Amino acid sequence: MGVDQKMPEVTTTTLDSLVDWARKYSIYRYPFVTASSDLEHMSAASDSHDMARFGAEVPSVSPKHADLLLVVGAVNHKMAPYLRAIYEQMNEPRWVVALGDAASHGGPYDNYSTVQGVDKIIPVDVHIPGNPPGPEQILDGLTKLQQKIESKN
């Protein structure tokens, strides 16, 4: 931002933290869903475990509008080029969350077709463990991502 060249440092820091606050409480997620962890993800996004409390209820249908690439479920080697293409289409700032064991490290699918962790294809910020993770763990991962958004910039 060109502001920090013209205004004193105190104002820039406050502006940065204001921008981080806005970013972390209005995450547009792009759910890249392949497998069964989506049931828990949908449950976390709907009424009983509410993701709208954290401001992240809007799913984006286009990667160009999204902040967060939420990889849900196992990714195959057949699917890997398309996941990479979608990640590269996202504009900065962008974050990636690997939801579930299969997306984090391959999970129970230790074979020739499943990539042993999405972090072998794209850089991942937060891994959410569980097979599938319960909605509370998904919301916990979301708060960790918010802490990361706040502290990184």
Residues that bind other proteins (CB under 8 A): 77-78, 80-81, 84, 106, 110-113, 115-117, 119-123
Kindly state the smallest distance separating residue 129's Cβ from other proteins, in Å.
18
Nearer CB in complex with other proteins: 27/75: 75
Only one residue has tokens 């921008």, namely: 19
Task: Say which residues have a Cβ less than 8 Å from residue 49's Cβ, sequence separation at least 6.
Answer: 43, 135, 136, 138, 139
Instruction: Please tell me the distance from the alpha carbon of residue 145 to that of residue 19, in angstroms, as a whole number.
Output: 15
Instruction: Please tell me the distance from the alpha carbon of residue 72 to that of residue 130, in angstroms, as a whole number.
Output: 11
Kindly state the smallest distance separating residue 135's Cβ from other proteins, in Å.
29
Nearer CB in complex with other proteins: 53/120: 120
Kindly state the smallest distance separating residue 61's Cβ from other proteins, in Å.
24
Kindly state the smallest distance separating residue 81's Cβ from other proteins, in Å.
5
Nearer CB in complex with other proteins: 122/138: 122
Nearer CB in complex with other proteins: 45/124: 124
Nearer CB in complex with other proteins: 20/119: 119
Does 135 sit behind a cis peptide bond, omega within 30 degrees of 0 on the bond before it?
no
The β-bridge partners of 8 are none
Cβ contact 103:72 at 8 Å: yes
Q: Rounded to 10 degrees, what is the CA torsion of 82, 84, 88, 92?
A: 120
Kindly state the smallest distance separating residue 53's Cβ from other proteins, in Å.
34
